[in-house]
Amino acid sequence: MKHLKQYSTYKNSEVEWLKSIPNHWNVVKAKRIFFESSIKGYPDEQLLAATQSKGVIPKSLYENTTVTATKNFETLKLVEKGDFVISLRSFQGGIEYSHHRGIISPAYTILKPQEEVAHKYYRYLLKSKRYISGITLLVTGIREGQNIDTSKFKDSYLPLPPKEEQTTIANFLDYKTEKINRFIKKKKQLIKLLKEQKAAIINQAVTKGLDPNLPMKDSGIEWLGDIPEYWKVRQLKYVANCFPSNVDKHSKEDEKEVRLCNYTDVYKNDFITNDMKLMVATAKDDQIEKFALKKGDVIITKDSETADDIANPALVIEDLESVICGYHLSIMRPYSKLIGEYLLRVLQCKPINVQFELCSNGVTRVGLGVADMRKAQIPLPPIEEQVEISNFIQSELKTIDKTISTIQKEITLVEEYKTALIAEAVTGKIDVRDFKVPEKETSLAMVAEEALNYNKSSE
């Protein structure tokens, strides 16, 4: 990081992931920095969960947890604030910092920092990109990164700066990451508002038309309300051929090679194009004939983890080369009285899409049956008006989509800057010993400027 100074002298740490370190830093085995704790017999303490995204927090705040359920709370291990927990089946480092006091499954290993350690410094180090990149040597299990071998961890080497310096580095990162996180939060809030604006434009156009002076009538459907009096309401089965795909991701020698449009391709995009990087798989002749995607097709996601996130649509806007619709998706192929782009916008309209949410079913994952998909009702203007509505929406959304894309790129840039800043600071690649929290708060806009400058200096 050229905009931040480096230490005057360095030495070889002889640790592959760490590389060079400041000359006055030490490198020691982890067992000198942490000692293992296994205190039990505190059944009245709150239950904790070890999470990758938030560290060790109360189980009540994080339902999706791998904490082992038990009725014998006497056997659970005590965790103090500032301790570290080696979590199970973690793929992102797996050594989590505890923000709270409580008890956790005896299957976890509890590590307490020694007195010469500033625990916040190691909170950053053990979750840094540089450290995680080198942790593969410490793992066990069927899959790489599944479990961390505690004995190997204790014998692995970590940097040990002077304690005062550890504290300064942690304070520097606290200040920087807090500003970065606030910046990202504000940008995500802006994206949310822009998406709400998009939704309002789509909802108005596909349910009320483009002319506010049109005479209206009751659609006869509570969730739809009034529609232009000459519009119709039709079930999807009368205006489109709706059918689910059964093509999986496996490749077989006796099948033909195809490009597979998968769940994420549809979920993350409004439009499916020929230049997309699609997965290569194989399919049978009859599958190719039935599920080959055509211009004007609308594809929807037919299952999800939650009912309110089902039936996300994407439109095939051009002729495709050997692209097949994959499993977990359904194809809606419009008949002559319906155009694909209008159907896309109809399915993006929340009051209409809610039909799929209400009829989906499942426990751990909800699914949408083909019968329920076909009986969904949509407003149907004349074909010429469908074209006008589709063109209007496309024009109105163009600027909004461009703004959202710009903001998302900015967020990505700042997140990469945050990752790099942490890695550089905790491994001594930048010298922040003179850091003091500024008396005057700087603008959040400076975060993006710093990230941009860093990106340029790294090229």
Residue 281 makes CB contacts below 8 A (sequence gap 6+) with 247, 248, 249, 250, 251, 257, 258, 259, 260, 324, 326
Q: Per-residue confidence at 68, pLDDT binned at 50, 70, 90?
A: very low
pLDDT of residue 60: 83
Same domain, 214 and 152: no
Q: Per-residue confidence at 61, pLDDT binned at 50, 70, 90?
A: confident
The verdict on residue 21 lying in a domain is no
Same domain, 140 and 256: no
The whole-model pTM stands at 0.81
Same domain, 233 and 370: yes
Give the chain's domain count: 2
Q: Which two tokens stand for residue 278?
A: 């699609």
Over residues 276-324, the pLDDT tens digits come to 999 999 999 999 999 999 999 999 999 888 878 889 999 999 999 999 9
Over residues 211-236, the pLDDT tens digits come to 999 999 999 998 899 999 999 999 99
Same domain, 232 and 91: no
CB atoms within 10 A of CB 354: 14
| Residue where a domain terminates, one of 360, 380, 400 | 380
Task: State the amino acid at position 357 in one-letter form.
Answer: E
Mean pLDDT computed over 374-386: 96
Percent of the chain topping pLDDT 70? 92
pLDDT of residue 340: 97
DSSP 352-395: HHHHHHHH-EESSSEE--HHHHHH-EEEE--HHHHHHHHHHHHH
Q: Which two tokens stand for residue 60?
A: 């009540």
Q: How many CA atoms lie within 13 A of 16 on its CB side?
A: 7
User: For residue 260, is pLDDT > 90?
Assistant: yes
Mean pLDDT computed over 42-60: 88
| Residue where a domain terminates, one of 351, 380, 409 | 380
Mean pLDDT computed over 162-187: 95
| Residue where a domain terminates, one of 380, 405, 435 | 380
Q: Per-residue confidence at 392, pLDDT binned at 50, 70, 90?
A: very high
Give the CA dihedral 446, 447, 450, 456, nearest 10 degrees: -120
Mean pLDDT computed over 10-38: 95
Same domain, 278 and 144: no
135-144, 159-168, 289-298, 412-421: segment of lowest average pLDDT: 135-144
242-246, 330-334, 358-362, 412-416: segment of lowest average pLDDT: 358-362
Same domain, 222 and 154: no
Same domain, 111 and 258: no
pLDDT of residue 458: 63
The verdict on residue 179 lying in a domain is no
The C-alpha atoms of residue 149 and residue 138 are separated, in whole angstroms, by 6
pLDDT of residue 167: 95
Same domain, 156 and 294: no
Query: Which of the given ranges, 181-185, 307-311, 453-457, has the highest pLDDT on average?
Result: 181-185
Q: Are 102 and 57 in contact (CB under 8 A)?
A: no
Mean pLDDT computed over 433-448: 80
Q: Which two tokens stand for residue 21?
A: 């370190």
Closest CA to 48 of 93, 85, 94: 85
The verdict on residue 452 lying in a domain is no
- Placement of tokens 């997309």 in the chain: 276
CATH number at residue 120: 3.90.220.20
pLDDT of residue 330: 95
The verdict on residue 226 lying in a domain is yes
225: three-class secondary structure by DSSP: coil
Domain of residue 361, residue span: 210-380
Mean pLDDT computed over 243-247: 93
Mean pLDDT computed over 149-155: 86
Residue 106 vs residue 361, higher pLDDT: 106
The C-alpha atoms of residue 405 and residue 275 are separated, in whole angstroms, by 18
Query: How buried is 9 (Cβ within 10 angstroms: 0-12 exposed, 13-18 middle, 19+ buried)?
Result: exposed
122-136, 345-359, 389-403, 434-448: segment of lowest average pLDDT: 434-448
pLDDT of residue 459: 56
pLDDT of residue 144: 46
pLDDT of residue 86: 87
DSSP 88-152: SS-SS--EEEB-S-EEE-TTSEEEEE-TT--HHHHHHHTTSHHHHHHGGGGEESSSTTSEE-HHH
Q: Per-residue confidence at 184, pLDDT binned at 50, 70, 90?
A: very high
Q: How far is CA 329 from CA 67, 140, 287, 315, in A?
A: 33, 36, 14, 13
pLDDT of residue 309: 85
Cα angle 11-17-18, degrees, rounded to a multiple of 5: 30
Mean of pLDDT over the chain: 89
Q: Per-residue confidence at 140, pLDDT binned at 50, 70, 90?
A: low
Same domain, 39 and 124: yes
